[in-house]
Structure 1
């Protein structure tokens, strides 16, 4: 008796599932949406807007710069300004700040400093003047000061002083004028020299009235004159 053997076909190797492989389409992973708080969003928008506004202000300032005159050397009161004392700069100038523009540079050269000027500052129109330190009807008296007579405060042009008459040497104890107020003459410093080498003497040119100039010169000649600084307001 012949028997019929049923053959079971072995599955094809290509169709056999491999370890680690998933048959069929793979669904993408689900990502849960993060809840954003309204306060954080508002803060982010505010910071972004502020940054944009700040950048806009910087751009506006950079685009509106003004060429102005600057001071690059020390200039004393009453000193005549030269081109070497001044420089130029391009700055973002506030409308409230008054500064000499570059196109007016030539007009301030040759004028006098009305106040002390320091390097690095902007030059304002009110800081210069065309007026001379020696006015009409005045005379200039040169006064030599010994080292011990020179004030510790620097003498600068325009500074107000008093010329004081003191008794001559050997006449201090006459007894006739010990209680009387000394004679004085109001003056104004025009120029002060540097101390002379060896002697240390400083020569100060002082402007006085034409009527008092000869008297002050006589005091200088007799060695009976002393120079005293007045208060800033001249009193």
Structure 2
């Protein structure tokens, strides 16, 4: 009697589907820590913090300085009532006067017109009198077209020129005369006419003659570039 062979099951991996094994992730080598780099980073961060703190403190540093609370004309003495004080953070380039020097400023004369609400600088006051011994103060009125375009300030050396009038020109009397002077104060333009009065100091011997010239209106003011300011 013949034997009936029972079919054997197919071996795994040949005809059956093989199960995939899990793949291990690649090993990543740990980075070595460099103590020197870490210390450098810490120092940079700390240095930046200190620098920022110093900058903040410097920008917030305030100083007590002198200000003007009243107008002081050029040539007038500065009184204690003319001065005020303010606490401000100023740029080092600003030439202000510390409030601690208040007593030394009182009694000095204004070298220029001092306006209320402004800071006081040392160059705006002087111990010298604007009118010296042997000089006379003469006001010179100039029409708008006679006022120099260049800014006049106290101390500027000028020449007052007497120009011939219409009658003198007709008679052939046309030689101009000149008197040297120094600007003491420049007034504001008169409303309506625009006339500007400039106080000038001149030698006592020339004062009366200059005043007579001014009364005729036939004068011009010329800035003396050679003389400069005093």
Same fold (TM over 0.5): yes
**CA shift digits 1:73-93 (9 cap, x unpaired):** 897764654655653225489
**TM-score (normalised: structure 2):** 0.64
The residue aligned with 1:87 is: 85
127-136 or 51-60, larger mean C-alpha shift? 51-60
Q: CA deviation at 1:65?
A: 5.4
Corresponding position of 2:109: 112
In 2 relative to 1, CA 93–219 (structure 1 residues): closer, same or farther, beyond 3 Å? Answer: closer
Counterparts of residues 33-48 of structure 1 (less than 5 Å): 34-37=31-34, 40-48=37-45
Among candidates 143, 154, 177, match of residue 146 of structure 1 = 143
Give TM-score, length-normalised by structure 1.
Answer: 0.63
Q: Match of 2:228?
A: 233
Aligned to 1:183: 177
1:39–1:230 distance in 2 versus 1, CA, 3 Å: farther
Could you tell which deviates more after superposition, 107-116 or 217-226?
107-116
Partner of 2:51: 54
How far the C-alpha of 1:37 sits from its partner, in A, is: 4.5
Counterpart of 2:218 (choices 190, 208, 224) is: 224
Q: Note the C-alpha offset of 1:157.
A: 3.2
- What is the aligned counterpart of 2:64 among 54, 57, 67? 67
Q: Does residue 1:199 correspond to 2:193, yes or no?
A: yes
Question: What are structure 1's unaligned runs of at least 5 residues?
Answer: 1-30
| Mapped partners of 1:61, 1:98: distance in 2 | 18
Q: CA RMSD in A?
A: 4.2
Q: Distance in 2 between matches of 1:72 and 1:32?
A: 76
Q: How many residue pairs align between the two structures?
A: 202
Matches within 5 A, 1:143-182: 143-172=140-169, 182=176
Distance 1:193 1:92 in 2: 31
